[in-house]
Amino acid sequence: MRVWKIADEDCPICTSMVEFDAGVIQTLGFELIQVRFDEVLDWPRLAGYVKTHLLNDDGTVDIPIYAVEIDQRFTGAVSGENTKGELKRKLLQVSR
């Protein structure tokens, strides 16, 4: 089980969530893989999932993105600003 985190160093929300996100992910027993936003296209399956499931109507995405992968299949994602508790709850929801 993996969580693919897509973030950007210039994103203030990403910066604030870095204080707790890795701990939450590790507590849940997931492996954390971090991908810079500008490198997402280097990961075709991940880029395809983002494009298909997380693209807003205006062509943007909300970051950070935490895409959950189980058995080489993306089961869901959490995006945008979340508290520690919200992130944990939402990751549990999309990992079922």
- pLDDT tens track for 18-68: 999 999 999 999 999 999 999 999 999 999 999 999 999 999 999 999 999
pLDDT at 21: 98
pLDDT at 96: 86
CA distances from 45 to 41, 48, 73, 80 (A): 9, 5, 9, 21
Is residue 31 within a helix (H) or strand (E), and if so which, with residue range?
strand 31-36
Topology classification of domain 2-94:
Glutaredoxin (3.40.30)
pLDDT at 63: 97
Which tokens belong to 89?
């709850």
Other Cβ atoms less than 10 A from the Cβ of 70: the count is 14
pLDDT at 30: 96
pLDDT at 7: 98
Cα angle, residue 56 at apex, residues 53 and 39 outer, rounded to 5°? 70
pLDDT at 91: 98
**Neighbouring C-alpha atoms within 13 Å toward the C-beta of 64:** 31
